[in-house]
């Protein structure tokens, strides 16, 4: 059975099933399909599946041409029917792993996916989890379900973890050229997963276990959140001392060793950075360990939207205006530049706080024409002189590349620049930086 599966993978005759067609699953599905594999893309969202069948794509990093070409050749088949799992030789789980209301890991999507696999699985399959989660999930959550009925991992089926490394909007690193970490529950599983991903990805890096692979992903994003928290705290300190933190960072990064620049901002967003370290902190607490760096960094970053609102209020005060009743125009609501993604975006909290304090909110984002979530119901304003001139304060939260920021500055009374996008602009008296 193991020999047969290896041969299928090397001959690209293996059928791949990918559960979840979001920011991770869809690029992966198209990558496998373009490499010559037959791919079933499984998603519970019928509207998403129907749009894909019509040749549309909801992910900016996946081109319409690639979707249409892979579907035309029948290499990629999107479906809501989990029964296709029985026809797959490899099943890859790419479902969300959010936090619940009490800031604890919610692995319900993983559990649902595993139960679907168990219902339809066949002997000789390899199953890979890509969803970011806490160390031990593959072994503690997935393995017991899959071994129900007497099947054994490494003998009847194979199980591995491979953390996703998707950076939406990155023009240089895509699925195929981003190194892939692989960790199996057994040596045979690690080898099979390595062989599978090597067919479509330039570099695959095996590690000794699934638990190590799970920890790798959390280390990567914990490194980022701690350093972002550090630089945000340095920024708050510089503000008190009357020092331009952006100038400090630009000078520090001239050092050719021992320093890596991180930049302050209005908060952190996306699915990974604000969430993944909390998974690690939660797991550590269960073992009697307090992850103090992680918790402190998360706290500092979570306060940044409030700091932005304080900047707005103080800037209005200098113009003899109260925050309540003032018109505030937020520029950019996506969680990062050049992506159409609102997940955990600090803009949402900034808008919510401003509304609660009585401000009149409008926004502009070239990628998101409407905003209807978390009690916010707004349409993007048009990019006109009138829109900016009518605002008492403009707040740049997301620095999309295709926006004329000099035009915004020229036609605004005051601009809160949280991204230092106006660092070379004139009319410095209008600009308030973090």
Residue tagged 């003032």 (tokens): 326
Measured CA angle at 406 (ends 231, 378), to 5 deg = 75
Cα(106)–Cα(99) distance, integer angstroms: 5
Residue 356 CB burial class (10 angstroms; 0-12, 13-18, ≥19): exposed
The 3-state DSSP class for residue 381 equals coil
Contact 106, 97 (CB under 8 A): yes
Give yes or no for a contact between 286 and 218, defined as CB atoms under 8 angstroms apart: no
Token digits of residue 403 = 């926006």
Residues in Cβ contact with 205 at an 8 Å cutoff, skipping those fewer than 6 apart: 179, 180, 181, 182
Phi and psi (nearest 5°) for 291? Answer: -85, 80
Rounded CA separation 149/155 (Å)? 14
* Alpha-carbon gap, residue 215 to 234, rounded angstroms: 28
7 sits in which H/E element: helix 2-10
Q: What is the largest CA-CA distance in the chain?
A: 77
**Catalytic option among 94, 238, 272, 393:** 272
378 DSSP β-pair partners: 371
272 annotated active-site? yes
Stated as kind and residue range, the H or E segment containing 92 is strand 90-93
Positions marked active-site: 272
């Amino acid at each position: 059975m193991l020999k047969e599966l290896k041969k299928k993978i090397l001959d690209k005759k293996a059928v791949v099933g990918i559960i979840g067609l979001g920011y991770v699953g869809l690029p992966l599905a198209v990558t496998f399909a373009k490499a010559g594999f037959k791919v079933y893309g499984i998603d519970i969202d019928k509207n998403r599946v129907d749009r894909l069948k019509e040749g549309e794509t909801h992910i900016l990093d996946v081109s319409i041409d690639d979707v249409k070409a892979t579907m035309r050749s029948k290499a990629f088949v999107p479906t809501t029917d989990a029964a296709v799992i029985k026809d797959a030789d490899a099943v890859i789980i790419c479902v969300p792993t959010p936090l619940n209301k009490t800031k604890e890991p919610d692995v319900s999507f993983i559990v649902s996916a595993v139960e679907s696999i168990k219902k339809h699985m066949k002997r000789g399959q390899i199953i890979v989890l890509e969803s970011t989660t806490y160390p031990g999930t593959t072994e503690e959550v997935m393995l017991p379900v899959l071994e129900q009925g007497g099947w054994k991992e490494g003998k009847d089926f194979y199980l591995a973890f491979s953390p996703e490394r998707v950076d939406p909007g990155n023009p240089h690193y895509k699925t195929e050229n981003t190194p892939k970490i692989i960790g199996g529950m057994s040596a045979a599983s690690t080898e099979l997963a390595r062989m599978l991903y090597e067919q479509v990805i330039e570099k695959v890096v095996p590690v000794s276990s699934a638990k190590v692979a799970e920890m790798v992903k959390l280390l990567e994003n914990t490194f980022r959140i701690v350093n972002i928290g550090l630089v945000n705290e340095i920024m708050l300190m510089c503000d008190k001392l009357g020092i331009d933190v952006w100038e400090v960072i630009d000078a520090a990064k001239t050092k050719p060793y021992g320093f890596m620049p991180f930049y302050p901002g209005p908060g952190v967003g996306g699915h990974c950075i604000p969430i993944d370290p909390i998974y690690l902190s939660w797991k550590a607490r269960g073992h009697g360990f307090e992850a103090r760096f992680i918790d402190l960094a998360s706290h500092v970053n979570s306060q940044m939207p409030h700091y932005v609102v304080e900047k707005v209020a103080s800037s209005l005060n200098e113009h003899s205006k109260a925050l309540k009743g003032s018109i505030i125009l937020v520029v950019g609501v996506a969680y990062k530049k050049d992506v159409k993604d609102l997940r955990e975006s600090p803009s949402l909290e900034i808008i919510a706080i401003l509304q609660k304090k009585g401000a009149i909110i409008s926004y502009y984002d070239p990628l998101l024409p409407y905003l209807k979530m978390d009690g916010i119901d707004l349409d993007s304003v048009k990019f006109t002189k009138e829109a900016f001139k009518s605002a008492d304060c403009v707040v740049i939260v997301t620095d999309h590349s295709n926006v004329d920021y000099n035009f915004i500055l020229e036609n605004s009374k005051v601009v809160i620049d949280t991204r230092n996008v106006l660092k070379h602009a004139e009319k410095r008296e209008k600009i308030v930086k973090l």
